[in-house]
Amino acid sequence: MAGREYEWILRFGDDALVLAQRLSEWCSHGPAIEEDIALSNIALDLLGQARALLTLAGRREGQGRDEDALAYFRTDREYSNALLVELPNGHFGDTIVKQMLFDQFAVLRYEALANQCVDEELAAIASKALKEVRYHAAHSTQWVVRLGDGTKESHLRVQESLNTLWPYTAELFEDDAVSKACADAEVMPLNASFKEPWSTQLQNILNEAKLLNPESTEFHTGGRTGRHTEHLKSMLAEMQVLPRTYPLAEW
């Protein structure tokens, strides 16, 4: 079980790290100063979550790798984040819809970890993260509603964003040997258990935003097992270039 638990914690950390890196790309490029600061703060929250989770994952792995080793010295094939979080930012509506879809899932996941997990260290990390992701979810939801129920142009663009990103959401609720082993050990409920509450909450948001739930049955998966889009490799190349060039540097 220890190996499976390491893999599971790593998935949490990778989700947070990759999404933090994507959001940080908005720094000084936001549509307004206030939103620029908000996205940067959310990225910092996610980076903090990633550091805690990768540190814990490294200890559970037992091979002497710390958070930096896991972040900077793994290839894209060794990352296990969901495909959704690695997708390029696109325009602001793309980013905010992606954030909303993931935030609603993250709240459910951290609630389960904080309240049900028998692993005290992981539960403590989740309890702190839960306060942050609830704010993230409120922020992204507010923007989706504002844009969806805004001008004709903003409505059309966020509906298009939703349609484009929808095929990447199914992966969040997939279960495999790793998630099943963790569920058996009472570390985490099955991912599938989050689908119904996530769908209900999402439908409420879309109703308020006057957006339509996509009907696409095409879904993309593979991130949990290292099969990523081409976007992750290029993102990691930029993120990892300094520590890989100067691996012995100390700051």
Lowest mean pLDDT segment, chosen from 13-17, 24-28, 141-145, 215-219? 215-219
Cα 169 to Cα 12, 206, 217: the distances in Å are 16, 15, 11
Identify the pLDDT of residue 124: 96
Reported pTM: 0.95
Within-domain flag for 205: yes
| Torsion-angle region of 28 (φ positive above 0: left; ψ -120 to 50: alpha; else: beta) | left
Nearest in space to 223 (alpha carbons), one of 183, 191, 187: 191
Which residues span the domain enclosing 55? 2-211+222-245
Tell me, what CATH number does 142's domain have?
A: 1.20.1260.10
Mean pLDDT of 199-217: 94
Of the listed ranges 32-36, 102-106, 238-242, the least confidently predicted one is 32-36
Structure tokens at 182: 């963790």
In total, how many domains does the chain have? 1
Beta carbons within 10 angstroms of residue 224's beta carbon: 24
The pLDDT value recorded for residue 251 is 67
Lowest model confidence (mean pLDDT) among 9-13, 154-158, 184-188? 184-188
Mean pLDDT over residues 226-244, rounded? Answer: 95
Do the domain assignments include residue 177?
A: yes
User: Tell me, what's the pLDDT at 27?
Assistant: 87
Say whether pLDDT at 250 is over 80: no
